[in-house]
Amino acid sequence: MDGKRGLAIVSLISLFTIGGFEFAKETRSGNEKAATLNKTSSINLTKKNSSLIADFLDKKIMLNVPHISQLPELMRGCEVTSLTMLLNYYNIDVGKMELAENIEYEPFEVNGIRGNMHEGFVGDMETFSKPGLGVYIEPVIELASKYVSSDRIIDLSNEEPADLYNAVQDGMPVWVITNANFQKLNEQQFMTWQTELGEMQVTYQHHSVVITGYDEEYVYVNDPLGTEKDKAVNRENFEQAWIQMGQQAFTISAANN
């Protein structure tokens, strides 16, 4: 996707997404596909731990995560490309195209009902000539579990931003859903979709990156849409964007932890 910097080409009338930049906050009822996730108390800093949080933010932590571009092969493939970076960090030999082939897919639209990102990648990942959307965390974790044991996958969704930094401090990069601008979006940048499980508020700015480091002022990310390794993003803005986009994040622990 090219509009990454100022992706104001957010065309809410277009069915063709810009690089998979869609978010969905969903009002859901009924059964959902559950991902196999692990919650660990070792990565559980909360607001009550404010002194500890202040202590570990008062330093700079950087991890050497390989940078991979989603372009030109996967115009909407930010999620699987970010997963590729995370897996490659642990010397797991897999490429973005293999992950793109193996992730679950959902049709873009059937009889006026749109696909559900909680169930699979919605639409076409490779080209703008066909409509597409993106994917939420559950299918990505399901895909990751084909390459690492499920007990190594640590779900950080709905946790505090500090939990993400604590994982990085422990040597674990973090896969996240954010938006292309890395700051909170206004309401005009969302639209309502009808899915089988209810309404979704989606945005064409949906994006996925890997957190590779942090300091007091910045979060450092590998952005699959860019060429820059360890891109610096304002930390407060990044946190607000991550929270707005549903607080979706996970990491992978080392093999023998």
Question: Mind listing the pLDDT tens digit for each residue in 69-101?
Answer: 999 999 999 999 999 999 999 999 999 999 999
Q: What is the mean pLDDT of residues 5-25?
A: 36
Residue 14 has pLDDT above 90, yes or no: no
204: confidence class by pLDDT, cuts 50, 70, 90 = confident
Question: Mind listing the pLDDT tens digit for each residue in 115-130?
Answer: 999 999 999 999 999 9
Question: Mind listing the pLDDT tens digit for each residue in 50-72?
Answer: 444 546 667 899 999 999 999 99
User: Would you state the CATH architecture of domain 53-252?
Assistant: Alpha-Beta Complex (3.90)
Output the pLDDT for position 56: 60
For 54, 62, 120, 184, the CA distances from 215, given in Å and listed in that order, are 11, 9, 34, 20
- Residue 241 CB: number of other CB atoms within 10 A? 24
Report residue 232: phi and psi, to 5°.
-85, 130
Type of residue numbered 183: Q
C-alpha–C-alpha distance, residues 170 and 192, integer Å: 39
Residue 20 has pLDDT above 70, yes or no: no
- For residue 33, the 8-state DSSP code is P
Q: What is the mean pLDDT of residues 178-193?
A: 96
Residue 2 has pLDDT above 50, yes or no: no
Q: List the one residue out of 218, 207, 219 whose CA is nearest residue 246.
A: 207
